[in-house]
């Protein structure tokens, strides 16, 4: 006779089913896309809100579409521990990136309730409305609103249809009231910390044969546009020695940047887009624009790498008679995960899988913004082939179960520590 699966195995199976179900809530018929305050996001919030209620949470949605489920503590004056991630997706997304960090805590809290565990802190499960920057180009709108970091200037961002963020929010609330960026929900002293569970989006856990890992830091990210300018000319009549080819200069930079980053431990540098302005098959490129993305776990190293890469671009440009211009578009500082929460999380991970591996997150997460409010910790879950932002994104039921066991154990440890 097969042994009856225990409660957590059943809970993990429920989590997997819910991830499937939520993965079918989409703005597009044949692929998964949910963007800020879209009809699918409203349906997603209704679905997830229902699961929150089943787990005993009081549910509300704020004006920016953040879904918030809260359970009070029996203890008076208790602080609040936050768990969450985002419910929006990229276009043609997978079903784990974001939703895992919202649905897993709901199931974990339901399990603690079933066991009759009374937590000495209140908990909030947060489903942020925007992290992927698909509809509006500013990422983290949801967690920024929650932490009181949305700025009046952000409200002028426009989507592809030309609607401002302000207009979209005001249409959603439908009260006719003018929207102003909200104040933060909690003062820092009232919050114990924030835990985000997320798929790794990289290949390290798979290569180490580990279901989960603990994030030590979220890397510094610098991004911008590099414009090489030379001189457009006729492709037939301009001799090679008289050319100032902006694309050839940019191409040399792409390879030089790759070689540079390969020599620096932990540095990653990527040219992800390149375009020739008014390019044509019979015209020597006069202007080329490329994107440069630089990441490193340490701010100083990240900034130093940017400086050296720009010097490299200038040297290449000078030698070729080109000019080069840098326009920064993003500069996110590195975020160190909180040692206290992280070591507690590592204890839970060791208890479940024997070994805890510390990982640097090369991708940004809501935890970046949440770190401005409270100490943060992140648990990464192995995903097949390191693949994310793709319909084939996949975390196995067994790995989901390990992650769930870790979070339940972590909350119990945190409860013990908070009581003493």
Nearer to Zn ion, 128 or 410 (CB): 128
Nearer to Zn ion, 99 or 193 (CB): 99
Query: Other C-beta atoms within 10 Å of 418: how many?
Result: 16
Of 97-105, 276-284, 315-323, 392-400, which segment contacts Zn ion by CB under 5 A?
97-105
Query: Other C-beta atoms within 10 Å of 283: how many?
Result: 14
CA distance 18 to 167: 32
Report in angstroms how near the CB of residue 330 gets to Zn ion at its nearest. Answer: 16
Report in angstroms how near the CB of residue 190 gets to Zn ion at its nearest. Answer: 26
CA distance 158 to 142: 16
Give the residue from 207, 221, 210 showing the smallest Cα distance to 139.
Answer: 221
Of 94-102, 164-172, 243-251, 295-303, which segment contacts Zn ion by CB under 5 A?
94-102
CA distance 329 to 223: 6
If one asks whether residue 111 binds Zn ion (CB under 5 A), the answer comes out as no
Q: Which positions from 34 through 73 interact with Zn ion, judged by CB under 5 A?
A: none
If one asks whether residue 84 binds Zn ion (CB under 5 A), the answer comes out as no
Q: Which of 97, 130, 196, 200 binds Zn ion (CB under 5 A)?
A: 97
Question: The dihedral of CA 342, 345, 351, 357: what is its sign?
Answer: negative
Nearer to Zn ion, 84 or 286 (CB): 84
Q: Which of 23, 98, 224, 286 binds Zn ion (CB under 5 A)?
A: 98
CA distance 274 to 288: 7
Nearer to Zn ion, 38 or 73 (CB): 38
Report in angstroms how near the CB of residue 131 gets to Zn ion at its nearest. Answer: 6
Structure tokens at 175: 């009260």
3-state SS assignment for residue 376: strand
CA distance 21 to 258: 41
Residue 399 and residue 219 in contact, taking contact as beta carbons nearer than 8 Å:
no
Nearer to Zn ion, 120 or 213 (CB): 213
Report in angstroms how near the CB of residue 365 gets to Zn ion at its nearest. Answer: 6
Q: Which residues of 67-106 are buried (b: 16+ CB within 10 A; e: fewer)?
A: bbbbbebeeeebbbbbbbbbbbbbeebbbbbbbbbbbbbb
Nearer to Zn ion, 217 or 290 (CB): 217
Nearer to Zn ion, 49 or 98 (CB): 98
Q: Binding residues for Zn ion, per CB under 5 A? A: 97-98
């Amino acid at each position: 006779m097969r042994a009856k699966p225990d409660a957590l195995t059943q809970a993990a199976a429920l989590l997997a089913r819910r991830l499937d179900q939520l993965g079918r809530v989409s703005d597009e018929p044949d692929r998964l896309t949910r963007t800020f305050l879209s009809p699918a996001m409203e349906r997603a919030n209704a679905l997830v809100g229902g699961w929150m209620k089943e787990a005993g949470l009081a549910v509300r949605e704020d004006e920016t579409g953040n879904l918030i489920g809260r359970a009070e503590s029996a203890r008076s004056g208790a602080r609040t521990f936050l768990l969450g991630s985002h419910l929006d997706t990229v276009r043609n997304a997978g079903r784990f990136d974001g939703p895992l960090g919202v649905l897993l805590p709901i199931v974990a809290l339901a399990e603690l309730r079933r066991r009759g565990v009374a937590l000495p802190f209140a908990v909030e499960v947060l489903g942020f409305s925007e992290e992927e920057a698909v509809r509006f180009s500013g990422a983290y709108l949801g967690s920024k609103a929650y932490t009181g970091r949305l700025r009046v200037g952000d409200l002028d961002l426009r989507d592809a249809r030309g609607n401002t963020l302000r207009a979209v929010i005001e249409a959603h609330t439908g009260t006719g009231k003018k929207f102003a960026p909200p104040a933060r929900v909690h003062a820092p002293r009232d919050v114990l910390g924030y835990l985000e569970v997320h798929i790794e989006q990289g290949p390290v856990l798979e290569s180490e044969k580990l279901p989960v890992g603990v994030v030590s830091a979220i890397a510094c990210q610098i991004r911008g546009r590099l414009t090489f300018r030379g001189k457009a000319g006729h492709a037939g009549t301009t001799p090679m020695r008289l050319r100032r080819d902006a694309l050839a200069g940019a191409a040399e930079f792409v390879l030089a940047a790759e070689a540079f980053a390969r020599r620096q431990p932990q540095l990653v540098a990527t040219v992800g887009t390149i375009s020739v302005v008014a390019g044509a098959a019979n015209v020597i490129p006069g202007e080329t624009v490329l994107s440069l993305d630089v990441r490193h776990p340490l701010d100083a190293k990240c900034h130093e790498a940017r400086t050296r890469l720009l010097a490299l671009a200038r040297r290449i440009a000078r030698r070729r008679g080109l000019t080069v211009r840098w326009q920064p578009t993003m500069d996110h500082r590195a975020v160190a995960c909180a040692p206290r929460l992280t070591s507690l999380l590592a204890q839970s991970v060791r208890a479940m899988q024997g070994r805890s591996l510390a990982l640097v997150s090369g991708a940004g997460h809501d935890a970046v913004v949440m770190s401005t409010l409270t100490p943060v910790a992140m648990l990464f879950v192995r995903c097949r082939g390191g693949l994310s932002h793709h319909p084939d994104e996949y975390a196995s039921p067994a790995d989901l179960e390990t992650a769930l066991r870790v979070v339940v154990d972590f909350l119990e440890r945190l409860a013990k520590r908070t009581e003493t």
